[in-house]
Amino acid sequence: YNTMKNSIFGDCIQTVFLCLFPDKDIIYICPFSGALKGKVFITNYRLYFKSSDADSAVMLNVPLGVICRVEKMGGASSRGENSYGLDITCKDMRNLRFALKQEGHSRRDIFEILFRYAFPVSHGLSLFAYLSQEKYEENGWNIYKPMEEFRRQGLPNDKWRISFINKSYELCDTYPTVLAVPYKATEEDLRKVATFRSRGRIPVLSWIHRENQAVIARCSQPLVGMSGKRNKDDERYLDLVREANGTSKLIIYDARPNVNAVANKATGGGYEGDEYQNAELIFLDIHNIHVMRESLKKLKDIVYPNVEESHWLSSLESTHWLEHIKLVLSGAIQVADKVSSGNSVVVHCSDGWDRTAQLTSLAMLMLDSHYRTLRGFQVLLEKEWISFGHKFASRIGHGDKNHADQDRSPIFVQFIDCVWQMTKQFPTAFEFNERLLLTILDHLYSCRFGTFLYNCESARDQHEVRLKTVSLWSLVNSSNDIYLNPFYTPESGRVLYPVASMRHLELWVSYYIRWNPRIRQQQQSPVEQRYKELLALRDEYLKKLEELELSDSPSSHLAHSSTSNTSLPAPSTPSQQYTHLQTPF
Amino acid sequence: MLSLGSGGGKSAKPSFVSYVTPEEINSEKDTPKEEKHPDLLPGEVVFCSASTVLKLTQDELSQRGTFGTLLCTNFRVSFISDEETGEETAPLFKNKLYGENDIPLSCVDNIYGGYEDKRKLVTGSQVKNKYPSKIIIHCKDLRVFQFALTFCKEEDAKRIFQGIVHHCLEPKSLKNIFAFSFCENTAFPGMLGNVCFTKLVHNMQQRTMMFDSAEDWAQDLKRTKGSCRLVTENANFGLSPNLPQYFIVPESVSEADMTLFQGKGLPIWCWSHHSGCALFKTSNLPLQQEDNVPQSYMEKMLTAVAHNYLYSVKTEDLSDTLPTVQDIQLSYSKFKQFFFIDSTTDFWVSDMKWFSSLDNCGWLDIIRSCLQKAMEVVECLEKENNNVLIMEDGGSDLCCVISSLAQLMLDSYYRTLQGFQSLVQKEWVAGGHNFLDRCNQLHLKDKENVSPVFLLFLECVWQLLQQYGPAFQFSETYLTVLSDSIHVPVFSTFLFNSQHHRASILRADSSHSQRGTLNCPTVWDWSVQFDCKAQQLFINPLYAEKPKLDKSMRRPHRPKHQRQLSLPSATFKTPPKKGFFKDETDSLKKILRVKRISRWMLSPDSPQPSSTSREFYEAWQRKPLDYHGLLLPCLDGPAVRIWMQRYLRWIQEVQIFGGGLVTVLSKVSDLLDEVQELQRQLDRHSSSLTSNHQRPRPRPISAETDSRLSVLLSSSFPFTTLKNNWSYKPAIPTGLLQSLMNSGNLADTEDDDQESLVRA
């Protein structure tokens, strides 16, 4: 199978492939083209199918990490055509069905192999990221250096210091090692506050506004409990956060709906009450992980395999998916608005790793144009999501067979959707394009890179992720031109407020409905294509003009070389001669 | 003062004023000084006015606004602010006829009277009870105005209220429409052509064909290689007033056939496919006649359409399968309400149920069904090479929608700006769409005939445009402006019910007038409304002309569109569909039996096509997309959308500041300008090589680009512009939770990691 290996898989993964399931005739029941005969290969990274019918060439190339659930369909005595086989549920909005011959337990091998390698963690095996030996020019693990990022923000300064109290994860095992805290708070203060915050996730600085010094701080809920406990240290600590830029009132955004915050008291949590002087608490009404999971499930029901035909909009509304997007975005808008007008804010939800991460990172995306660059966005993800302990492993369930785990939830997908909504509304404000977002979501599941593995930094350290796996950013930054938005117009200093109204929010069709061939998948948007054609044409004309100049008067200088823009990859050279641009105006 | 109307305002650009005769300018000046007037258009007369009227800002609750004078003229309702706003705020895209605080009378959709805390729809000028303290005007272009009358003199308030209500709501005669006094007082140098576009478009062999001459019809027939008969005998409506002046019918139709039913049932040619088959439309024959005359007549007509048995014919009665004009009106009147936003609270409350509201009014479904039907027609022509005869009762509503949509999909010529205008002239104006009645230009109380059929067509075009941007030479802004222009009572295009109607009115009118026949501009005289710079926004920067092949490579005698349209029919292996288009002539003997036809004529309850042209679409979609070839719309749920620019442009809350598609398109535009400048330099080079002239040095390029980008764009571009660029507060949704019905237990099971919390 060596030749097969190279021809099919030569594209990206350079590792030993186990050809576990060679050449067995199998039928892929494509929801769009019907039953297709073909061949399946399963490696320790992916499931590959190619239909043998040349007329309708259908190919599947599914990383095993995407698989959520594998089930047997039908039994040896099932009747009906193609009723015996496998049903595979994927995490990326699709299902795959394969039918096999009914005789001779033909599916036993494939089922067992899939089950084993799709869920390596449940079988005591290594995730594929540890087996991949990919090499890239750039080491993506270097993209985020906490101290560098703090320095970029102008920290430390006379109000905020960097603390290494958590260097061995003693203060909080789900926080990063390097924290920015109020200058006046002592290490002892931090320890005391940690006792009153759920899981020790104390308020720390995420971002500071360069001009007005207002900050976004994040944390988890205070442990108020049924009895309404108070903690002076916590109260004083929050007041230090407020004091740092002289804000008269600290705004605390609790991402949860009010009732949920109240309900949390029963389990020892709660929210900041009136005892917090100079603070105002605002609930942002964003629902919890379970609601989001069910919402996306409903969305899948109406788009896969077929897009709901009648009453599409009502069906879409009934999933509430876009409404949740609206809530998250509008929460982030409020945070960004407060901060840009000089108020420091504290954001938390229950544990401060789901909704909090969504809100702080989106607000930072609105406030700081650095995060809208290709590398800046990577930093944002590394910082607000990965280092602050969004529980990727629990939310995604990497390599875990327990598909019904209540901890799973598409919080990160929802965040990327929000980012996509922003790029849609501000098509020139982001250096990266949709392809980056799609790539991120693909590798959120694929387990090919170490980037999204594990729940927090301490776990990552323990499993030596940085040493033993490759970062997704290695892939991205080694071929970054395909992730660039040609329309990007850098603009610093401007706060980007998206419109969080249903009038503008739209379903991200090229993600959620991308498996449907009826939805035309354009490799490149027509606008982008046209722009690149024109850029190429401009360069061509400039070159021609230069040549003419040179040939006419050899002494003349190169007048235009400086205006020539060659940063973009030239699309295929226009075939027409330069004399007439086929472009009317 | 705000610059309103054409303005002998500060801008020194040529405008309407240059057409005004000196006497009129004098009479304008005679008006009393204390009353503020807009710069009146020729023939415009002020009926009444009131000062110290407060124009409220959109937010109803704030009660803030600007004081000024409210007037009603024979053209518009106009508000002139007392505040000297000084500089022009929107010089880029200004309508020369009316400004941002003007409402042309026919643009008024509804008037409400505001009383303390409620509002009442005003239906006529008989106002019982009290005069309202507020006038709220909803416009057909979706603007909303609120004027508080509480600060002006009571009699002024009464007068202006009554005046506005009277002139906007009460029925009027056609002659009282502003166009007539406007045109009488204005000399138009005839059809100006599009001076602006001739400069811009590369090879402008094109003009807008008006289809009011035999030549235009002959040219279009020739262009599509149709083999039909051009009828010129109706030039003076001698055959029938119901028929256009000029039209085209199948070869074998005789003159007697044309007059038998006053033109009803006569197949009128629309377009010919390169395969030889063609699209025809007709109005239904009167039903239930005792004798067999209509049936045998229809039989004869079908045979004629079939080129004497050479081709088969498929017929489709649109009255059976598409919504009626009343359905369309009903749905649209629900739909448009979603865009009349009176306050921020209103906006956010309606945001909750936005999708289901849209769904329930059915407007998008109507759009979808029209596109679907047009696609079926296209399938018959393109794939099956059948003649198609579409019919409906009047033959000038949905027939116009479907035939023009089918032509847009099939023929890339109609996707050019001039081609599109020609298409509207051919199918709608010459085709006898009852613009006057459908748009209710006369404000008749009986609204039975009112229906936004033409707007529906523009909506469908917009759907195609947003799906296949690079295929169209014109822009979204062009379509939006065109839809607005329907309600600017100046253009002859939308004032008549048919060519005969137009001719009789204008003829009668010219006998009174000393100046001879009235020469009203058509809507295509864009310079009446916009200067050249503004008109540039009508051009879609994504459009690229089809690359011309070398002449020598071209096959002789094939019309241009032929090459583009042909799809090898072998690629479509789909089985013949059942049910839908009735196959009248598959086997001609069978089809032409009287019984069969009579059944078809008399029983409209034919099986409905639930099956779509899915396979046709999918087969087309698998091929590489050619923007100059056949276009088929995607009709899946997410693909049919709201025409955001038209409907959301005035709503403050949804403006994306510094964003929107325009930020990208303007970059393409600028680059296009730059490339064209370079091309000119190259051309100069090559011409100077042949001659011995001094070659001008190429100018630096980057300075050439437009300053458009320097202004902060918003998603409502170019209709609203930003006044204070940076001092902008984001719109924060209110009352979010109400709509999120508690999703049962899940929402209550706070929270994320319950078990572990309990443990802790």
In tens, the pLDDT along B265-284 reads 899 999 999 988 999 999 98
N residues, chain B: 760
- Are the Cβ atoms of B757 and A267 closer than 8 angstroms? yes
d(CA B366, CA B325): 11
Residues of B in contact with A270 (CB under 8 A): none
Mean pLDDT split into 10-residue runs, chain A, 585 residues:
43 49 75 87 86 79 95 84 91 93 81 92 94 88 97 96 96 97 96 97 97 96 94 96 92 96 94 94 96 97 90 95 97 96 96 97 97 97 98 97 96 98 96 96 96 97 95 93 94 88 95 86 79 94 88 53 41 36 38
Contacts of A489 in chain B (CB under 8 A): 663, 667
Phi, psi at residue B305, to the nearest 5°?
-60, -35
Has A349 been annotated as catalytic? Answer: yes
Chain A 214-233, residues with CB within 8 Å of chain B CB atoms: none
Cα–Cα distance for residue pair A191/A187, rounded to 1 Å: 6
Distance CA A432, CA A411 (A): 21
- pTM, rounded to two decimals: 0.88
* CA nearest to A360, candidates A350, A372, A352: A352
- pLDDT at res. A105: 77
pLDDT value for B435: 96
**Closest residue to B659, CB basis, from A259, A295, A426:** A426
Cβ pair B655:A499 closer than 8 A: yes
Could you list the residues of A known to form a binding site for substrate, using ranges.
288-289, 349-355
Strand A345-348 versus strand A215-219 pairing type: parallel
Which residue in A349, A418, A447, A456 is the catalytic one? A349
Q: Determine contact: A304 vs chain B, CB below 8 A.
A: no
B473 CB-near residues (< 8 Å, 6+ apart) = A584, B415, B416, B417, B419, B420, B539, B540, B543
A523 contacts chain B (CB < 8 A): no
Three-state secondary structure call for residue B380? helix
Q: Do A291 and B743 touch (CB under 8 A)?
A: yes
Do A263 and B360 make contact, defined as CB atoms within 8 angstroms? Answer: no
Of residues A189, A215, A241, the one with CA closest to residue A338? A215
For CA atoms B411, B417, B420, B425, the dihedral sign is negative
CB contact under 8 A, A499 and B644: no
Q: Cβ separation of A583 and B347 shorter than 8 Å?
A: no
Handedness of CA B497, B499, B501, B502 (dihedral sign): positive
- Least Cα distance to A245 among A347, A341, A149 occurs for A341
Asked if A306 is an interface residue toward chain B (Cβ–Cβ < 8 A), one would say no
Is domain B46-185 annotated with CATH 3.40.50.720? Answer: no
Looking at residue B619, its amino acid is A
Asked if A313 and B356 come within 8 Å (Cβ–Cβ), the reply is yes
Using only C-alpha atoms, chain A has a radius of gyration, in whole angstroms, of: 27
Q: Measured between beta carbons, which residues in chain A are less than 8 angstroms from residue B612?
A: none
Residues B715, A526: C-beta atoms closer than 8 Å? no
**What secondary structure does DSSP assign to B205-273, as a single string?**
------S-SHHHHHHHHHHTT---EEE-TTTTSSS-TTS-SSEEE-TT--HHHHHHTTTTTPPEEEEE-
ipTM: 0.90
For chain A, give me the number of helices (H) and strands (E)? 19, 14
Q: Where are the domains of chain B?
A: 46-185, 214-537, 652-741
Out of B364, B683, B751, name the one closest to residue A288 (CB). B751
Cβ-Cβ contacts under 8 Å, B702 against chain A: 563
Whether residue B653 and residue A499 make contact (CB cut-off 8 A), yes or no, is yes
Sequence length of chain A is: 585
Question: Strand (E) positions, B356-507?
Answer: 387-392
Encoded tokens for A337: 């608005």
Instruction: Please tell me which of the candidates B634, B750, B758 has its beta carbon nearest to residue A350.
Output: B750
Measure the CA angle with vertex A58, ends A53 and A64; round to 5°: 130
Report the residue of B750, B755, B756, B758 to disrupt the A interface, i.e. the one with the largest count of A CBs within 10 Å: B750
In angstroms, how far is CA A425 from the centroid of its own chain? Answer: 18
Q: Which residues from chain B sit within 8 angstroms of residue A527, using beta carbons?
A: 469, 542, 661, 664-665, 668
Over residues B17-44, the pLDDT tens digits come to 333 333 333 444 444 445 567 789 988 9
Distance CA B72, CA B65 (A): 20
Q: Which domains does chain A have, with CATH numbers?
A: 1-125 (2.30.29.30), 140-527 (no CATH)
Ranges of residues in chain B with a pLDDT under 70 are 1-36, 58-63, 84-91, 125-129, 188-206, 287-291, 308-310, 509-518, 548-612, 689-711, 721-728, 735-760
The alpha-carbon gap from B733 to the nearest alpha carbon of chain A, in Å, equals: 7
List chain A residues with CB under 8 Å of B676: 581, 583, 585
Q: Which of B752, B753, B754, B758 to mutate to test the interface with A (most CBs of A within 10 A)?
A: B752
Asked whether B229 and B219 are in contact (CB, 8 A), the reply is no
